[in-house]
Amino acid sequence: MTNQELVNALSKRLGWTQRQTSEVLGATISIINGNLEEGKAINIQGFGLFETKKKAERISVNPVSKQRFLIPPKISLAFRPGQTIKDNLKKLEVNE
């Protein structure tokens, strides 16, 4: 689903114009991005948990040349689905 398809589906369901829906969706995404940039976790009830994880620096080895090199630390985004989504996915697997 693209962003435009999401805006269309939301506007039909809520009875709003596409412009209003797009503004609300943009504001929501902006708030989520801001909190994640600050290192705060976002828990959306019934959907899941978005959080940032810090990965420490580590040493890696090239298997061909046996050369060792340092991989710098980084911050990555992690998502853990909520129980509702997990249950819905289990139902899909059983039916297919």
Residue 53 domain-assigned (yes or no): no
The pLDDT tens digits for 5-57 are: 999 999 999 999 999 999 999 999 999 999 999 999 999 998 999 999 999 99
CA distance 54 to 76: 7
Residue 88 domain-assigned (yes or no) = no
Q: What is the average per-residue pLDDT within 52-79?
A: 94
Count of residues in the chain = 96
User: Tokens standing for 85?
Assistant: 């989504």
**Domains in the chain, number:** 1
> What is the C-alpha to C-alpha distance for residues 46 and 50, in angstroms, rounded to an integer?
13
Q: Is 7 inside any structural domain?
A: yes
